Amino acid sequence: MALFKWVFWGTFWLLIGAFLHYTLPQTDIVRIADTYEKRIDFGENSIFWASADSGNATGPVNRDVFFIQTFRSNDKPMVYRNEDTGWGWPPYFKFDTSNLQAEAGDLKSTKTAPQWVAVRHYGWRNEFLSIFPNAVSVRPVEGPDVRIIPWIKIIFLVLFLALAWAIRVRWVRFREARIDPVVEDVGDSLAERRSRIGRWLDRRRSR
C-alpha cells in the first residue's frame, strides 16, 4: 500500500511538473538566421500546435505556419514556431503573429555580424515528435551572456507552492477532525465484532 501511494504521488507531481515546464515562459538568447513559412500536415502531434480557431490557425488538417530559425551561442540550432494562442490555452493571448515574424526578420544576423536576441517562448523542441516551442516575443539584447531573471515564472511558482501548501494544511486538518475519528470508530466496531465472534466460537468449541 505504501509503494502504491508513493508511485501515485510521484506520477502526479511528475505530470504537474511536466505541464508547468511546458506551459510557463522560458527565454533563450540566440541569433536569428532565417524566418520562413511552411505548410504543416498535422497528425498525432497536433495537440502541440495551436488550435484551428486561434488567430492564423485556420485548418485542423494542414495549414501554413511561421517559423523562426535560430542558433545558440554554441552554434546549436533552435527552431521556433510562431502561432497565435488566441483566447485559448496557454493564456498568453497572443494575436500578433505577423508582427512578431516581421520583427524577427528585421533582427536577422550573420556569424560575422551577430545580432543577439532574447526569444521568449513556451513549449518543447522534440525532433522525434516534430514539435517546436512557440515564440511569444523577441527583443534585441547586448550579447549571448546576458542574464535574464524569469520573474513571471518565479512569482507563479511561489504562488503555486503556497496554494498547494495551504490546500494540504486544510486537508490534514479536515482529515484529523472528520475522517480519522470515523475510521477509528469503524475500526473499534470491527474489533468489537471480531471479539464477540471469537468468544462465540470459543463457547461452541467448549461444548
Per-residue pLDDT for 31 more than 70? Answer: yes
All cell numbers assigned to 112: 560575422
Last residue of a domain, one of 148, 165, 195: 148
Same domain, 45 and 143: yes
Same domain, 138 and 190: no
pLDDT in tens, 136-183: 999 999 999 999 999 999 999 999 999 999 998 998 888 778 776 776
Confidence of residue 50 (pLDDT cuts 50, 70, 90): confident
pTM: 0.79
What dihedral angle (degrees, nearest 10) is formed by the CA atoms of 124, 128, 130, 136? 10
Is there a domain that residue 6 lies in? Answer: no
Is there a domain that residue 4 lies in? Answer: no
Q: Which candidate, 109, 113, 97, 96, places its Cα nearest to that of 70?
A: 109
Last residue of a domain, one of 133, 148, 163: 148
Is there a domain that residue 8 lies in? Answer: no
- Backbone phi, psi, residue 73, to 5°: -65, -25
Same domain, 50 and 63: yes
Is there a domain that residue 138 lies in? Answer: yes
CB 123 within 8 A of CB 90: no
Same domain, 163 and 101: no
Same domain, 88 and 178: no
Same domain, 159 and 142: no
What is the domain range of residue 201?
A: 150-207
pLDDT in tens, 2-30: 788 889 889 999 999 999 999 999 999 99
CATH of the domain at 90: 2.40.50
Query: Distance between CA atoms of 49 and 46, rounded to whole angstroms?
Result: 5
Same domain, 171 and 124: no
CB 67 within 8 A of CB 77: no
Same domain, 97 and 117: yes
Is there a domain that residue 104 lies in? Answer: yes
Is there a domain that residue 20 lies in? Answer: no
